[in-house]
Structure 1
Amino acid sequence: MTMADGDLAAHLADVAGNILLQVRAAGVFGGKALGKAGDQTANQFLVHALREQRAEDGLLSEEERDNMERLAKERVWIIDPVDGTREYGEERTDWAVHVGLAVNGAPVLGAVALPGLGLVLRSDQPGKIPPAPGALRMVVSRTRPAKEATDVAATIGAELVAMGSAGAKAMAVLRGEADIYLHSGGQYEWDSCAPAAVALGWGLHASRIDGSPLVYNRQDVYMPDLLICRREHADMVLERVKALL
């Protein structure tokens, strides 16, 4: 029996996350070697599974040579086997597995697994987002916070919350650990497709930092910036970004 897209995305993200935990628990690899082994192992599983289950769809993976045949496809799966390889290798919990689906360029469906926390968040099964606190919190990279993000945080009085992978940061907004995720340091489509789909499915705002829509399955997969936040904060953040740029 063929799985529905949402069930497939969540299942694959969950299984890939468990594979990654097993690779790490084996104790054979460490540091960068662990990250490489995890990336390759999870990627092999995800790619083979999607080609088996969705042979007619396009596929884009961070760890797979790009096939431009995807540009002619309406439906394209965009995956990141390990988002936050550094954090995975350091045995932290702020890393993720992304399985997203773009249809005609729009991030319509996705699942983000947080294996270190035993969670899978999916676009088609939204939960209740905790209410915003009095003082806003902006999640930023723990190693290289974007200047625009720190500048905006300073102007709105938001507390900075340092975290690893893009998926972990985006999911922190859903989970009530942060209110705004603003990134301007450059990413690729696999970094944000699944997180953006999940955020939109949960009723959050997701766009470029100029307010324009996120568009996927382009020939150039570089995506310079991203904003994910509660809808009630979107206009304020976009206005502050515009004033600073």
Structure 2
Amino acid sequence: MTDSTPRADADIARLIATEAARRLLEIRAENPGVPGRELKDLGDQGAQALIAARLAELAPGDAVLSEEAADSAARLGAPRVWIIDPLDGTREFSEGRDDWAVHVALVEDGELTLGAVALGGPEVVLVSTDVAAEAPLADPIRIAVSRSRAPKIVEAVAEATGADLVPMGSAGVKICAVVRGEADAYVHGGGQYEWDSAAPIAIARAAGLYTSRLDGSELVYNQPNPYLPDLVVCRPEIRDSVMDAIGAALASPSE
């Protein structure tokens, strides 16, 4: 029988994220010169296979929601559901960059209780049971933003708050950048799913950061439709200014 204490779950999450990230580096090394689309697929498939096997071994009987596996309505009634993104940031992975991540989260009785995120490999793995927000607030504040497709609302928030935009890769990398003090906020309004944010949001909450939807409502996981298109993560001391700027942007006809 699997030991389901919080410490054991954290160990499982850390182990799986670490091993999947290591496997992803191996896949990249084993396939030099492979076109980007093919390398993305190899990464997704390889990490998914490893994670699925490890969860079957270490958390048998638990439900799983993964970007790279068929969904099942059975998870909606399950007391424990692992939410997995085997490779968050496929573009960055395929380009040889390190701003990609592996996400492993756990929802228990409808509550997000645990998250582990491996950042760009097995050496840096953040786990929600052992994390704290780092570094002082920057002046001007920094907002993490997509390298290729910054949502218009982010530009409006940056203008209203006088923030600098800091381009970087995957959603997990951006949220963890706020945790690690490399950014002060992450605002997203362009469409995501639960697996894009569950694990890093668990870490952000554990670090004392503010997290919500753009409208201020709570981020809720293991829903029938896993589409979760927007979010805010920021240092608590700038919550009011960031949320006020978001509210103004949402109310603007131009948005």
Q: In the aligned structure 2, how far is the partner of 1:118 from the partner of 1:228?
A: 24
Question: Are residue 74 (structure 1) and residue 79 (structure 2) matched?
Answer: yes
CA contact (8 A) 1:142 1:164 kept: yes
Q: In the aligned structure 2, how far is the partner of 1:121 from the partner of 1:47?
A: 20
Write the deviation string for residues 112-159 of structure 1: whole angstroms up to 9, x where unpaired: 001348300110001351111221000111110011111111110000
In the other structure, the counterpart of 2:136 is 131
Q: In the aligned structure 1, how far is the partner of 2:117 from the partner of 2:128?
A: 9
In the other structure, the counterpart of 2:160 is 155
Question: Runs of 4+ in structure 1 displaced over 4 angstroms?
Answer: none
Residue 210 of structure 1: CA displacement? 1.2
**Aligned letter for 2:206?**
G
Aligned partner of residue 224 in structure 2, secondary structure:
coil
CA contact (8 A) 1:58 1:75 kept: yes
Q: In the aligned structure 2, how far is the partner of 1:112 from the partner of 1:148?
A: 26
Q: In the aligned structure 2, how far is the partner of 1:128 from the partner of 1:219?
A: 32
Alignment of 1:57-206 (within 5 A): 57-116=62-121, 118-206=123-211
Aligned with 1:7 (options 8, 11, 22): 11
Structure 1 gaps of 5+ residues are none
Name the % identity. 49
Query: How much is the aligned-residue C-alpha RMSD, in angstroms?
Result: 1.4
Alignment of 1:41-56 (within 5 A): 41-56=46-61
Aligned partner of residue 186 in structure 1, secondary structure:
coil
**Aligned letter for 1:10?**
R
**Aligned letter for 2:203?**
V
In the other structure, the counterpart of 2:253 is none
Normalised by the size of structure 1, how large is the TM-score?
0.96
Aligned partner of residue 99 in structure 1, secondary structure:
strand
**Aligned letter for 1:11?**
L
Aligned with 2:21 (options 17, 20, 24): 17
**Aligned letter for 2:85?**
D
Aligned with 2:223 (options 209, 218, 222): 218
**Aligned letter for 1:7?**
D
CA contact (8 A) 1:82 1:95 kept: yes
Q: In the aligned structure 1, how far is the partner of 2:110 from the partner of 2:247?
A: 25
Q: In the aligned structure 2, how far is the partner of 1:139 from the partner of 1:115?
A: 17
Aligned partner of residue 216 in structure 1, secondary structure:
coil
Write the deviation string for residues 210-233 of structure 1: whole angstroms up to 9, x where unpaired: 111111111111002011111111
CA contact (8 A) 2:19 2:122 kept: no
Aligned partner of residue 155 in structure 1, secondary structure:
helix
In the other structure, the counterpart of 2:213 is 208
Write the deviation string for residues 141-190 of structure 1: whole angstroms up to 9, x where unpaired: 11100111111111100000111100011111111110000000010000
CA contact (8 A) 1:93 1:117 kept: no
Normalised by the size of structure 2, how large is the TM-score?
0.92
Aligned partner of residue 112 in structure 1, secondary structure:
strand
CA contact (8 A) 2:18 2:122 kept: no
Structure 2 gaps of 5+ residues are 251-255
- Alignment: residue pair count: 245
